[in-house]
Amino acid sequence: MISQLFLKVTQGYFFFSVRRLNTKKPKMREELKKKIKKNIIQLKRDMDARDLTDYFIQEDILDFNDVEKINGYNPNTSDSRNTCFFGLILDRSDEAYNVFLMALRENSLEYLADMVENTQVVAQPSSGN
């Protein structure tokens, strides 16, 4: 999403407001989703989404409402936070995949990033008419 700054002058005061424009990014490619899904058990076992969310905010993939959803998930366990987190990022663009790998590496979880990145997936056959 793109943020745009609008400036309004009223009675000598400056008011700033940020409006998020609803720009449609393409969804994450199926092959990248599959790489995450094929490793979901190990990922959920070894990571906690709350350690990764700031990277997604920084890159404008998740917003504070998304993070509140993740951290407030009931019951508030790493498993339920991770379930919510994956539900959100798998619905985002390819950029979310790249940020996910980077966030894992930044949190000393390189082995998880490598595992996902090196996962082989079968390409979907294209429908040729």
Pair of tokens at residue 82 = 């991770």
pLDDT more than 90, % of the chain:
70
**How crowded is residue 79: how many other Cβ atoms within 10 Å of its Cβ?**
13
pLDDT-derived band of residue 128, with 50, 70 and 90 as boundaries? low
**How crowded is residue 100: how many other Cβ atoms within 10 Å of its Cβ?**
28
The domain limits of the chain are 27-117
Question: For the residues 74-96, what does the mean pLDDT come to?
Answer: 94
Query: What is the pTM (predicted TM-score) of this model?
Result: 0.76
- Residues pairing with 5 in the sheet: 18
Q: Which CATH class is domain 27-117?
A: mainly alpha
